[in-house]
Structure 1
Amino acid sequence: MMTLPRNFRSTYSQRKDYVMTFEQRYKQLKPMIFAIIRQLNLYKDVEDYAQIGAIALWEAYEQHTEEDGAFEPFAYTVIRRAMIDELRKRVRFDDQTVLIKKEETLDALEETHFSFEQLVTSYDTVQAIVQQLTDEEKTLLYEQYVNERPNEWLARQFDVSIEAVKKRKYRLKKKMQRLAKQKTT
């Protein structure tokens, strides 16, 4: 009776790696591509990332040598790296796009001219609204919009929960809208 060596399976699978065509390898590792997409929490452009994963799998298939070890871990690393690189490119592009849009908005605001009467009327309206607020509401308004304090800081300052701060901000906004509507009518 013939006995098989202990490492027969790993030896066999390594040999099998080099015999498989790319199409077979793609069918075998397609679930891995989508698993990486899920691990990276990519929910937009899933098809694009699946395509990037397939291209990265092709590159891994072409680059892999025996010295790299088993193919699956090598392919996993190459695919994941390609997706992260693409994600970084898109984030960088989005950041640059937002900066350009902000600059365009600032330029448009600079081009908008308000008359002195409009500015005084707006200032007087805001001042009249703020005078009708309680001291606590004024403090909340000042800390939130002038000092740009986060909700956590405001919660500690007012000794309430973060949810209570959110509710107070919501009520303050509604009150100011109501007062502004009364002032303009």
Structure 2
Amino acid sequence: MDKKFAELSFEEIMKQNERRVHYHIHRLNVRDPHKEFYQEGLVAMWNAYEKYEPDKGPLATYFNYSIRNRMIDLMRKKARALRNDEVFIEEEKKKMDNGNRSCKDRLPLLDFSDIPVDDRSVWKHVRERLTDNQWKWVASFIILELPLKEIARREGVTVEAVKSWGKQARKKLRDAKLKEKLLALVEGA
């Protein structure tokens, strides 16, 4: 350790070099309302003080290197956490959308889980409310669970056309009156 630093305690060295931490916070354009970066800079300074080897260079240079790199690491950690939060929020939104990803207003489909899927009379009633193309979408996408590309290939149309069929079918399936009729049909059977 430098002779002049060997006689000083860390508190004295910290007071002399505290401005380095503020310099790097400013230099990296960091907003630090909770003083996290300031604390990280002090910890980096402490670690540099403890690990310092005088034959490898001046202590001030080692302080600068340590403080700056610790702050960059903290910035990366915060950015990674923010990205992970955004991914989690997006996944939760998808769950709330109930699979209705192509609708711009993001209204969820009505929950038809209480209506038996294997009841032909229910599907017959749904079929009566839809056009031929809308029914093709329901039969292929909902009942058979085929991907849109496969439906488009089978029908000889574009994927966009199949999406359009689905959009129009969803509008009709969202109708609360339809659900009431279907429930009455199931309960009456």
When normalised by structure 2's length, the TM-score is: 0.51
Structure with bigger gyration radius: 2
Q: Once the two structures are superposed, what CA deviation does each residue of 1:3-41 show, in whole Å capped at 9, x if it has no partner?
A: xxxxxxxxxx94202222100110001111001000000
Higher relative contact order (CA 8 A, sep 6+): 2
Q: Once the two structures are superposed, what CA deviation does each residue of 1:49-78 show, in whole Å capped at 9, x if it has no partner?
A: 000000110000000011221100111101
What is the aligned partner in structure 1 of residue 55 from structure 2?
A: 67
Question: C-alpha distance in 1, partners of 2:15/2:74?
Answer: 23
The AA in structure 1 aligned to 2:98 is E
1:95-134 → structure 2 map (5 Å cutoff):
95-110=83-98, 112-113=108-109
Question: C-alpha distance in 1, partners of 2:91/2:110?
Answer: 20
Is the contact between residue 37 and residue 46 of structure 1 (CA under 8 Å) also seen in structure 2? no
Q: Please state whether the residue corresponding to 1:43 is helix, strand or coil.
A: coil
**How many residues are treated as equivalent by the alignment?**
104
Q: Please state whether the residue corresponding to 2:98 is helix, strand or coil.
A: helix
Match of 1:57 among 15, 40, 45: 45
Q: Please state whether the residue corresponding to 1:20 is helix, strand or coil.
A: coil
Match of 2:30 among 38, 42, 45: 42
Question: C-alpha distance in 1, partners of 2:59/2:34?
Answer: 24
Is the contact between residue 53 and residue 79 of structure 1 (CA under 8 Å) also seen in structure 2? yes
Gaps in structure 1 of 5+ consecutive residues:
1-12, 117-185
Q: CA RMSD of the aligned region, Å?
A: 2.2
Counterparts in 2 of 1:110 and 1:44: CA distance versus 1, 3 Å = farther
Question: C-alpha distance in 1, partners of 2:71/2:78?
Answer: 11
When normalised by structure 1's length, the TM-score is: 0.52
The AA in structure 2 aligned to 1:77 is Y
Deviation at 1:46, TM superposition (A): 5.3
Match of 1:79 among 34, 48, 67: 67
Where does structure 1 differ by over 4 angstroms across 4 or more consecutive aligned residues? Answer: none
Q: Percent identity?
A: 25
The structure whose residues are more often helix, as a share, is 1
What is the aligned partner in structure 2 of residue 29 from structure 1?
A: 17
The AA in structure 1 aligned to 2:109 is H
Question: C-alpha distance in 1, partners of 2:22/2:31?
Answer: 11
Question: C-alpha distance in 1, partners of 2:3/2:36?
Answer: 32
Question: C-alpha distance in 2, partners of 1:107/1:25?
Answer: 54
